[in-house]
Structure 1
Amino acid sequence: MPHGFLGRTGGVSTGDLASLNCGIGSNDDPALIAENRRRAVEAVAPASTLLGVYQVHGRDCVTVTSPWAEADRPNADALVTATPGLALSILTADCTPVLFADAAAGVIGSAHAGWKGAVAGVTDATIEAMEALGARRHNIHAAIGPCIAQASYEVSDGFGGGAIPEHFFTPGRPGHRHFDLEAYVADRLEAAGIASVHRAGQDTLSQPDRYFSYRRATLAGEPGYGRQISIIALP
């Protein structure tokens, strides 16, 4: 299936949001965002219709059968489809993008897994929605895109409220530790019994020339931050 985890280069935005900022709702010229999104889908799946959701850090997954207007994006954090010609997208700036495919069944999915959504089970919900369209769990392959790495993800000792197993943390400065979001998401996927899980292993925070990062922009006191896009399409 055509798919890609795009970074921040190759677009038309400028300044702190340079250059391939695809974040609808970011502090950027809507015309520039539209051009960046056009370039993104053209690079991954030409002639496909690009669709996304209004991400809310939950577990809801939407089954897509036909395009919708950007103004009508549903509140959700994952999409699945068995309809050819649709390109499913996720926006991130440290959270984990996950793309799914069962090529035999002709079913694809995409999920936005921040820590809250990951703990709530957004990847499990995506797999279940794919199965409802005819996918078979043991045929589903998943790819985890660039996200904030453990070394960059400092959290307080109470982070997660006890819902996250301790082995996903390493010690930090007093009162803090470091959370491995990518490993947690991968573990959830592997526990679901799908065919394979691929990790990009790329840290969004420590590579400012390649990726947007919410945490990096916040620490630097920047007025806004861009979002990179991840896309998978069903030809």
Structure 2
Amino acid sequence: MAKLLSCSAFDDMDRIAHGFTTRAEDLADLGNTGLAGGGDLATAQTNRRLWAGAVLADAPLVGVYQIHSAEVVTVSAPWDDANRPKADAMVTDQPNILLGVLGADCAPVLLADDAAGVVGAAHAGWQGALAGVTDATVDAMEKLGATRENIIAAIGPCIAQKSYEVDSGFYRKFCEANAENDRFFGAGKDSEHHQFDLEGYIAARLSGCGVHTVACMGEDTYTQPDRFFSHRRATHEARDNEGRQLGMIGLRA
């Protein structure tokens, strides 16, 4: 089985099971876990079961139909893939349910309050991040008994600033939302282009809403084709389909 990545920020949490998947030479479709495009659906479902079993054996993997929003679902019981609600984040206080979010440049964000026994998972692309998907996830965790000061968050593999060129319209969206967002943009190839720090922006949003511990994995999906799927890389290479990796988190019983 190919290697799962883990975040050391969760090392002392005995109840928390988590992992970030990678491309896998020993799995079909290189370990793709996406349920829409990028490979065969049956193979993706098999891969999802294999990856999930490596994180939390015998726990059902629950996902959402991701729409680049700030919508959060509270999971009290698992559902099947065909009945995924439209949302971009999930929270639960139920043991033996594994929350999974997909990404292939967008950031999978995993959150846990070990003492309260509450976990969350958010899919944070630029649209969801700007809309406040991580803030909404923290709010939903608090409704289940978590305390935001006790939440630990990990931002998994995503596109890095050096690989994320955006235009001036993109830049203006963020600066119109908050003038201080200018700090997440570096100089581009000309005055109409910028380099956006998605990971840094998400980390700042988490810190700004009261999460004291935010760990950044610092793994660039775009520049590591042997390890990660990347939608932007596939686009630049004129390939129609690209797989997805998973970020997963759950509570052990």
CA distance in 2, matches of 1:123, 1:11: 33
Aligned residue in 2 for 1:169: 185
Could you list the runs of 5+ residues in structure 1 that have no partner in the other structure? none
CA distance in 1, matches of 2:43, 2:153: 31
Q: Is the 8 A contact 2:32 2:38 kept in 1?
A: no
For normalisation by structure 2, the TM-score amounts to 0.89
Aligned residue in 2 for 1:156: 167
Aligned residue in 2 for 1:3: 18
| Percent of aligned pairs sharing the same letter | 52
For residue 141 of structure 1, what is the amino acid of its counterpart?
Answer: I
The answer to which of 25-34 and 111-120 deviates more is 25-34
For residue 32 of structure 1, what is the amino acid of its counterpart?
Answer: T
1:24 aligns with 2:35: yes
CA distance in 1, matches of 2:109, 2:241: 24
1:221 aligns with 2:238: yes
Aligned residue in 1 for 2:5: none
CA distance in 2, matches of 1:186, 1:194: 9
Aligned residue in 2 for 1:212: 229
User: How many residues are matched?
Assistant: 231
Runs of 4+ that moved beyond 2 A = 10-13
Aligned residue in 2 for 1:67: 78
Question: CA offset at residue 27 of structure 1?
Answer: 3.6
CA distance in 1, matches of 2:37, 2:26: 15
Q: Is the 8 A contact 2:39 2:242 kept in 1?
A: no
For residue 139 of structure 2, what is the amino acid of its counterpart?
Answer: E
- Report SS of the residue matched to 2:222: coil
CA distance in 2, matches of 1:121, 1:97: 14
For normalisation by structure 1, the TM-score amounts to 0.96
Aligned residue in 2 for 1:230: 247
Aligned residue in 1 for 2:220: 203
Question: CA offset at residue 178 of structure 1?
Answer: 0.3
Change (3 A) 1:64 1:197: same
Q: What's the RMSD between the two structures over aligned residues?
A: 1.1
Could you list the runs of 5+ residues in structure 2 that have no partner in the other structure? 1-15
Question: CA offset at residue 28 of structure 1?
Answer: 1.7
For residue 199 of structure 1, what is the amino acid of its counterpart?
Answer: C
The answer to which of 186-195 and 2-11 deviates more is 2-11
Deviations along 1:120-160, one digit per CA (max 9) or x if unpaired, are 10000000000000001111100000100000000001214
The answer to which of 187-196 and 50-59 deviates more is 187-196
Q: Is the 8 A contact 1:26 1:226 kept in 2?
A: yes
